[in-house]
Homo-oligomer: A and B are copies of this chain.
């Protein structure tokens, strides 16, 4: 049983605490928040947990094995670093940091101390993405040609990060999990339509060394909510529509190929069956807590470990840099140090 300290009980912290409480493998030992109101809400839901407005109290407590950090992104680095230095395993909200060097520093610190550092890229642990991951690993899809995701809705405009750091981060984590290839360049365009606010619409194009292309379309100012991803493979193709209540995942036996010999100028199209695998109804956050606890106990690395978090922060920073240059491609070859 892992004893968890939750840092930050605002929007996301309550979800983490609830998942811990329901997991059976961990329990909420302490909750820290600067707001007495937040702690009052926490008391109702977690009567057995100790509460504090003093972060140090939590970090000093030897009964706390691990912390979960659900605070604004600017604070992630300092809080995670302090927790690691206090000998705690860390699960930190996405994105891991808002700066590449700080992300790298956290990775090094966790490695040096032999502590688990995990980033809460929740989507990676959804039944749909887990099922896609199996389709990739078991080579059902064949070579992955492209990943094309549309993730748009109306709001919520953030004050401090642009839409890339808020929405594209989900697809970057999924991509990092699905593909064993590393990207070589990124080109991104963005625009902002609310004066004084970060950009609310962005298009990311991610080039891979093997010729694959990923495209992410994110927008806080769309009339309708769309969560739709197409994945093209040499054998099969996937439509992942997260707005569907059932059949989120559809696997199409469709594709195209060139003829050979005298028919090489002809393209033939394959239009076979589609199937929608039944998906587990298990909550992603619960899976994530179980894996966090297991990695702590086994000393193993989760899919979304600190290195993954670092790679994703590198992508986020590179994409933002590209948008400032109207799509000028940013070379990502140095990312390989993070893999």
Q: How many angstroms between the C-alpha atoms of A191 and B328 in the bound complex?
A: 17
A151-175 contacts to B, CB under 8 A, are 152, 154-157, 159
Chain A residues touching B, majority SS: strand
A200-223 Cβ-contact flags toward B at 8 Å (1 or 0): 010101010001110101011111
Q: Is A276 an interface residue (CB 8 A)?
A: yes
Q: Which of A179-199 contact B (CB under 8 A)?
A: 185, 187, 189-197
Among A2-10, A24-32, A132-140, A241-249, which stretch is in contact with chain B?
A241-249
A237: CB under 8 A from chain B? yes
Question: Using Cβ atoms and an 8 Å threshold, which residues of chain B touch A239?
Answer: 223-224
Q: Is A193 a contact of B276 with CB atoms below 8 Å?
A: no
With A223-B252, A267-B194, A328-B327 as contacts: A189 and B217 at CB distance below 8 Å = no
Measured CB to CB, the closest approach of chain B to A249, in angstroms, equals 10
The answer to whether the Cβ of A225 comes within 8 Å of any Cβ in the partner chain is yes
Contact of A225 among B201, B220, B221, B245 (CB under 8 A): B245
Check: A232 CB closer than 8 A to any chain B CB: yes
Residues of B within 8 A of A225 (CB): 245-246
* Residue A294 lies at the interface, judged by CB distance under 8 Å to chain B: no
CB distance from A21 to the nearest CB of B (A): 12
Check A325 for interface membership: any CB of B closer than 8 A. Answer: yes
Per the 8 Å Cβ criterion, residues 224-281 of A in contact with B are 224-225, 230, 232, 234, 237-239, 243, 245-247, 250, 252-258, 264-265, 267, 269, 271-278
Cβ of A145 < 8 Å from any Cβ of B?
Answer: yes
Question: So how many copies of this chain end up in the complex?
Answer: 4
Asked if A109 CB lies within 8 Å of chain B CBs, one says no
**Contact between A245 and B246 (Cβ–Cβ < 8 Å)?**
no
Is A290 in the interface zone, CB < 8 Å from B? no
Q: Contact string, A117-137, partner B, CB cutoff 8 A, digits 1/0?
A: 000000000000000000000
Task: Give every chain B residue within 8 A of A150 (Cβ-Cβ).
Answer: 150
Complex Cα spacing A32 to B254, Å = 38
In the complex, what's the smallest C-beta–C-beta distance from A14 to chain B, in angstroms? 15
Query: Among the listed B185, B192, B201, B265, which residue makes an inter-chain contact with A159, where contact means beta carbons less than 8 Å apart?
Result: B265
> Are B212 and A191 within 8 A (Cβ)?
yes
Bound together, the chains give a CA A155 to CA B256 distance in angstroms of 8
B-side contacts of A195, CB under 8 Å: 258
- Per the bound structure, the CA–CA distance linking A92 and B195 in Å amounts to 43
Q: Is the CB of B278 within 8 A of A275?
A: no
CB contacts (< 8 Å) of A232 on chain B: these are 193, 201, 219, 221-223
**A326 in the interface (beta carbon within 8 A):** yes
Interface residue A13 (Cβ < 8 Å from any Cβ of B): no
Q: A148-B217, A275-B276 are in contact. Are A154 and B328 (CB under 8 A)?
A: no
Q: Using CB atoms, name the residue of chain B closest to A205.
A: B189
Known: A44-B44, A189-B205, A222-B230. 9 other contacts (CB 8 A): A148-B152, A155-B256, A155-B267, A156-B267, A157-B256, A187-B189, A207-B326, A224-B246, A328-B329
**What 3 pairs across the A-B complex have the smallest Cβ distances?**
A187-B327, A189-B205, A223-B252
